[in-house]
Structure 1
Amino acid sequence: MTAPDPYSGWDSLLPREREKLTARVILVGAESTGKTTLTQDLVQHYRSRGGVWANTLWVSEYGRDYTVAKIAELGIGWEDDAEFRSADWTSEDFAVIALEQQRLENAAASAGSPVLFCDTDALATQIWERRYLGNESTAARDALPDLPPRALYLLTDHRDVEFQQDGIRDGEQFRATMTQWFVDELLIHGERGQFVRGNREERLAECIRLIDEVLAERPPVS
């Protein structure tokens, strides 16, 4: 006898109901630790399951697009020989990034499958604000003091991925500190999280196991 599909009623939900019920899986970590690759691998896996999962969505890192735009405003071209291009950050920038990242996340949650993958979030924006402007700058947190419930945070370990400079990353020397800051923040906020270690295949397999556990715990939508 075939087990009933716990998400048989998902497609009939209104967008605002999906936004509330979607399991939001957030990938965070220091620079060049494999977040985007892992996010895309997870999306591909869940889409391949078909049915309601075929519409699994992901939210990219808005802060990266914002950074590229700010660097362009400074007149620094990608054809220049600079190894690292730095933007001139203000507190307002991080508030703008946090708000837009959350808007994109909410929009995707209202339109996709029962699971949503986010390549960073507004909490990560708060940590990057601390990195660039110090502990006293709290614009991102002030703009979004409360975030929607997260099903799971996946923290990519910097020790398993070789650092690759793409022209806007700070540098390898900051990765260990940033990893620890993410650990500290997730503990402070009491979020459900897991360190992600290993090669690409090992990371993907472990994350699928963790996410399936989270999905199995959620009430059916039928």
Structure 2
Amino acid sequence: MLPNARAAFVCRIALVGPESCGKSFLAEKLAAHFNTVFVEEYGRTYCEKFGMDSTELDFAHVAGGQLYREDEMALEANKVLFCDTELLVTQIWSEIYFKGKCQPWIYWANHERKYTHFLLCAPDIPWVNDGLRKYEYARTWMFERLKEELECRNLPFTVIQGSFEERWTDALVAVELVMAAMQDRIG
């Protein structure tokens, strides 16, 4: 199968949640376990390079960069691709920064991009201030906002919570179930 065609059949698992809830840790660990690749959060890379004084144009760059990286990594993925965040998170951060506003194309792309399953990470582990994170007080609100959006759009998700060991076990079980269901559909 041609690489671009194969990438279209990759199972995409998006890890979403508020700041400092273990998304990056899980994405990397799951990718290693399933012998595949993961997409790092482009927003973090962008902020490390250009700073945190965000404009609407910055959010457009972050959204575009995230999509580009996902498509590039899907070419390298081994059946499953783990995405450390996705455009729903970018959309909500834009709404926070710009009083409810987000560029229309980000809304559109957010609804058009399809993921096989979402792992929604709960903010029930200690906050880690890494110098870029600054919204510790908004973690519960962000979690509930993401959960509400996933439910309203009827998107498949599993809440990942508890200790790091419990998170790992629950994430692993969820992904294995998703992969088994995909295999059953293929035959």
Q: Fold match, TM over 0.5?
A: yes
Give the counterpart of 2:133 among 169, 176, 191.
169
Q: Secondary structure at the match of 2:177?
A: helix
Residue number in structure 2 paired with 1:141? 106
Distance apart, 1:179 and its partner CA = 0.8
Corresponding pairs, count = 186
**Does the 8 Å contact 1:98/1:140 carry over to 2?**
no
Distance apart, 1:61 and its partner CA = 0.5
Q: Tell me which amino acid in the other structure corresponds to 1:173.
A: Y
Structure number having the greater helix percentage: 2
**Does the 8 Å contact 1:57/1:113 carry over to 2?**
yes
1:172-197 CA-partner distances (Å, limit 9, x unpaired): 21111111111122122221011101
Q: Tell me which amino acid in the other structure corresponds to 1:45.
A: H
**Does the 8 Å contact 2:11/2:80 carry over to 1?**
yes
* Cα distance in 1 between the residues matched to 2:173 and 2:105: 32
Residue number in structure 1 paired with 2:81? 116
**Does the 8 Å contact 1:126/1:140 carry over to 2?**
no
**Does the 8 Å contact 1:94/1:139 carry over to 2?**
no
1:141-168 CA-partner distances (Å, limit 9, x unpaired): 2562543321110011102x10011111
**Could you say what the CA RMSD is over the residues aligned between the two structures, in angstroms?**
1.8
Residue number in structure 1 paired with 2:19? 31
* Cα distance in 2 between the residues matched to 1:24 and 1:211: 10
Residue number in structure 1 paired with 2:46? 66
Higher mean C-alpha displacement, 185-194 vs 211-220: 211-220
Residue number in structure 1 paired with 2:6? 18
Larger Rg: 1
* Cα distance in 2 between the residues matched to 1:142 and 1:157: 24
Distance apart, 1:140 and its partner CA = 5.6
* Cα distance in 2 between the residues matched to 1:18 and 1:182: 30
What TM-score results when the alignment is normalised by the length of structure 1? 0.78
Q: Secondary structure at the match of 1:154?
A: strand
Give the counterpart of 1:212 among 167, 176, 179.
176
% identical aligned pairs: 31
1:45 and 2:33 aligned: yes
* Cα distance in 1 between the residues matched to 2:104 and 2:65: 13
Q: Secondary structure at the match of 1:25?
A: strand
Gaps of 5+ in 1: 1-12, 48-55, 72-86
